C-alpha cells in the first residue's frame, strides 16, 4: 500500500487515490477471506456403508468409538460427506 500525503491534496485527488489504490486492494483482501460457503451434504447410514463398503454394525461401532462423528436430526442419524471423504483420504494406502 502506498502512503498518501494530505498536505496540498485536494478532495478530488484524495477520492481518486482511494478509488485507484485502496479499494482494489481491499477488494482483493476481502475476496480471499469471504468465499461463498458450500452447503454441507449429509449422508444416511446406508449411504456411508455403501461408500466405505462396510456393514451397519461396523458403522455403529465406529460411531460409538469416535472413529466417525454422527449428527442426529430428530430420530435420524446423518454423517457429513466431507468428514467421510477426509476419513477415506486419511486411511488410504499409498502404493
pLDDT tens string 32-70: 778 777 788 999 999 999 999 999 999 999 999 999 999
Domain ranges of the chain: 1-36, 42-90
Single out the residue of 34, 1, 32 nearest to residue 18, CA to CA. 1
d(CA 27, CA 15): 16
Mutual orientation of helices 56-64 and 45-52 as an angle, nearest 10°? 100
Q: Which of 1-5, 21-25, 51-55, 90-94 has the lowest mean pLDDT?
A: 1-5
pLDDT value of residue 95 = 58
Is the model's pTM score more than 0.95? no
Amino acid at each position: 500500500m502506498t502512503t498518501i500525503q494530505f498536505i496540498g491534496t485536494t478532495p478530488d485527488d484524495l477520492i481518486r487515490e482511494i478509488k485507484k489504490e485502496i479499494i482494489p486492494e481491499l477488494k482483493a483482501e476481502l475476496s480471499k477471506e469471504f468465499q461463498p460457503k458450500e452447503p454441507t451434504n449429509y449422508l444416511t447410514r446406508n449411504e456411508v456403508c455403501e461408500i466405505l463398503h462396510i456393514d451397519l454394525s461396523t458403522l455403529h461401532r465406529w460411531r460409538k468409538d469416535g472413529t466417525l462423528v454422527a449428527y442426529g436430526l430428530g430420530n435420524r442419524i446423518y454423517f457429513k460427506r466431507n468428514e467421510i471423504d477426509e476419513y477415506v483420504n486419511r486411511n488410504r494406502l499409498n502404493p
